[in-house]
Structure 1
């Protein structure tokens, strides 16, 4: 019938070590790609410096990433925060532009103009109410 392997043939400590090594491998890949992304994100580095760091990180990955983090690690957080700020500002600008009425004026501004026209006698109460309903709906 051949060999039949059961769960107890793989000890708990072996499973723990396997999970730990998989976790460390995934963590290593995350750090590696974060360093590579930071190399390209940094606008103070010029072409040859970026190429040098990238070459170093790819050819000697463990040593390259370790040295990169030691030399330029403090500014990695600053660049990440700056990117997050720029993305948030772009998102806020997009929301403001999208949510604004097509004429550029808000509903409150249009209501103020209508109230002024009514106060000056340019429109009647009935016209004011109809225009107000259009603005609010």
Structure 2
């Protein structure tokens, strides 16, 4: 069941430039105000099998999630799994060239069961509101790449 979806096919930067932002913890923490900390429990920071914890601050609450990168294609794609007591969230970050622009897709979905559906329906509106604001900041950061 989908809990968040974002698509933009008009990012005015190369896929490599967009991916460089997505692939850099420091930039992500500067862009996403909800992202407080990323702690790695494996040596590699960006490869299949990388395990890490993310700390988020949303609406005066702190959340910590265990994650694992399950697919990594340099300059194109990251797929990660986030383990919650309610289930497993799969998140995709995918960047593709589109003429002189880039296409960015971000999708999060949770495994579907009756209990998970209730959880997803509760989380979806908050995730959409918060993440749409954060993705606008990512778009701005990508726009600023070309102004430098």
TM interval, short-chain normalised? 0.3 to 0.5
- Which structure has the highest helix share of the two? 1
Structure number with the bigger relative contact order (C-alpha 8 A, sep ≥ 6) is: 2
Give the structure-2-normalised TM-score: 0.30
Give the structure-1-normalised TM-score: 0.32
- Which structure has the highest strand share of the two? 2
| Structure label with greater radius of gyration | 1
